[in-house]
Amino acid sequence: MKCIINRRAEFSASHRYWLPELSDAENFARFGLCTNSPGHGHNYVLYVAMEGDLDEYGMVLNLSDVKHVIKHEVTSQLNFSCLNDVWPEFQAMLPTTEALALAIWNRLAPHLPIVNIQVFEHPELWAEYAGNSMEAYLTISTHFSAAHRLALPHLSLEENTEIYGKCARVHGHGHNYHLEVTIKGEIDPRTGMIADLVAFQKAVDEYVVEPFDHTFLNHDIPYFGKVVPTAENIAVHIRDLLEQPIRTIGAKLHKVKLIESPNNSAEVFGLPVEETTHKATEQPELAKI
């Protein structure tokens, strides 16, 4: 029987985004404060996912052996280092989060049956790599606060309460929404990026966070004048808002995850190109996902 196990590890390291073939102004325009010398540091968190058959002892792998391999091949080399200098692959490619996930995969693959590498640069930025050539995933997390009411306009308060419970109360209620947006793309062999991180963050802020923050969604966001703002419908609308801006920065929207509360979240995945074009002209319908 196949089973996937995960091992967590940590290391602290610094890095700098700087390309010698660019001028100071060009580097700053592309990488912002990350160009500052001698660099800046992070407390990285690494998750290594491995798949295999259960043995007679009920294990996929001996975790003591896994811990030793990860330490020997990765964390002992990277801990308290400057990533730009420690591994030769970062002489040709900048040590971005995406590039780091790829490099760690290549270091561990000969020794462990890995199926996914996840690297957290900090709690609001992480990358994943699953062995698919140069394709990687990059996620940013953010938040906004908003109120909503769950009710269909053609139903009475009693009927809406039957469907939505307390969420149908006429004055609505609020949430501190946590939003995770994941994009995918090919890692650039020089910059180490699948897309411009600043442009990625700007797209999420401009199309979602700023318009949605501190609003009553039903009244302040035109889409939700016709569509019930459930967590599912909000996630779908955010996906539709971000599809084209993410394509503009050279990546593909992979997933939107909206966490309404610790007990309630919704996830939707990106659309094929042809469906994205169709959605741009589609009129919203009541409570339709």
What amino acid positions are annotated as catalytic residues? 167, 214, 260
Question: 172: left (phi > 0), else alpha (psi -120 to 50), else beta?
Answer: left
Indicate the SS3 state at residue 1: coil
- Alpha carbons within 13 A on the beta-carbon side of 6: 8
Q: In angstroms, rounded to a whole number, what is the distance separating the alpha carbons of residues 44 and 77? A: 13
- Residue 262 CB contacts under 8 Å (≥ 6 apart), including other chains: none
- Alpha carbons within 13 A on the beta-carbon side of 1: 7
Cα-based angle 161, 176, 285 (whole degrees, multiple of 5):
50
* Contact assessment for residue 11 and residue 76, using Cβ atoms and an 8 Å cutoff: no
